[in-house]
Chains A and B, each alone.
Chain A
């Protein structure tokens, strides 16, 4: 009696997988999300930034909290070819790598750059990576979503 039930259950599971496999499943490969130039955005009173050019809007309050800063004049934001957002600002110790999701940006990685804080950070889109330049110190860092390269 137990054997026919197991067979029936197995058949149902197989049918379910088969139905899922037959559904719409197009995947576009090789998408390049790279922004050619970083966006420099000034947060408003609610710590929200709005990038008009690339049509993205979010709050940086959790990042400020993480950095122990009450506010910043402007943040630097760039998206690499894989689609991850890199965010930092003058005075930050870290670069934050966010992965976009449905109505959210979730932290993928926090890359520590300088214990004393960046002076004049700037992102550049480079072939295969994001270049972080601290114009104040002259230091350059090559980054991707995994961390420093």
Chain B
């Protein structure tokens, strides 16, 4: 009895399994095609709406599953999709996903660049702030220490070194900007512009801060001399050169809404900086020459300074030719020593890089100095005296011979 029941149950179970298998086996090719299209569209939509690299990985898994699910129907789908094919559709999905992945990689790279840039800017700001603080402290100590000359000299040296360090630091930053932005193509500019919208600070703002501090530095009366202002002007000229090369790209990148205005702001600050430096430079140069006994005509520009030098030397040459006095030669020596020993050797590089004097203008003064030397050199009477002595000796001998004969 039990055995018969067991047999009946087993038979029923087998029948049910067969029946359910039969139901499962029912399929509509049309439905397979529709499901394929729906799954394909869903994956395409997921690719289009992917928001992260994790999404890309997940979709790659979906495509694998999609291929596994439908590879058994490849012939059917090839017929249904004609002229496309099942493999073609898979390739399209994988190509689109690869494109999305590339986009994410680009975005990630851009985000990394922005993060690095932000960190660089923060570091720059921090270091510049520290340098400006040190500079201001030194300047205040300079003002308080005017009574003690030796101490004052030490502080000025320290202040000067502080400014030089800051200049080097800014130059390195500008060099860095030059490398980054000089050859940047417009696509990278627009990608970076989009990514940089999230930045709290940007390199343009940092440049404005640097320039404002340069203007403040030049405006302060801090006991600096002509070479200090020449170096400032040289630094300004380097800044202008760099800005001319990267200004457009940087403005398009970090001020994509108003690039022209952003460029103009920096250009205006550069002009203000030069005006502040020049305001001190011409007086400082004039004073430096005066302190060495060289009274140049007044000048307030680079061309006027060159004219003043030439005018001074031309007049000196003319005077020396006319008078040929000891004083002329002393003036020549004084000018020559200062020109060769200080102006050319100590300031020469700054003079040319700051566009105050060109190499050609310096060489022209050198040529005139040669003329001046020849004109100012006192003419010697020794030969004339020797001639007279010789003549007297000859006359004496002749008189002696005539006297002896007679």
Contacts and interface: CB of A to CB of B under 8 A. Distances in A.
Nearest to B79: A36
A89 interface: no
Contacts of A122: 28-31
Given A36-B76, A37-B76, A37-B79, A124 B29 contact: yes
Contacts of A76: 30
A140 interface: yes
B76 A133 contact: no
B28 A124 contact: yes
A38 B31 CA distance: 10
Contacts of A14: none
A138 B29 CA distance: 15
A15 interface: no
Nearest to A122: B28
A42 to B, nearest CB: 14
B73 to A, nearest CB: 10
Interface string A106-132: 000000000000000011110000000
B279 interface: no
A40 interface: yes
Interface in B7-46: 22-23, 26-31, 33
B195 interface: no
The size class of the interface chain B forms with chain A is: 10 to 19
B80 interface: yes
Contact of A138 (B26, B31, B76, B80): B26
Contacts of B26: 133, 135, 138, 140
Contacts of B22: 138
Interface of A: 36-38, 40, 76, 122-125, 133, 135, 138, 140
Given A124-B27, A135-B28, 19 more contacts: A36-B29, A36-B76, A36-B79, A37-B29, A37-B76, A37-B79, A37-B80, A38-B30, A40-B30, A76-B30, A122-B28, A122-B29, A124-B29, A133-B28, A135-B26, A135-B31, A138-B22, A138-B23, A140-B26
29 contacts: A36-B29, A36-B76, A36-B79, A36-B80, A37-B29, A37-B30, A37-B33, A37-B76, A37-B79, A37-B80, A38-B29, A38-B30, A76-B30, A122-B29, A122-B30, A123-B30, A124-B27, A124-B28, A124-B29, A125-B29, A133-B27, A133-B28, A135-B26, A135-B28, A135-B31, A138-B22, A138-B23, A138-B26, A140-B26
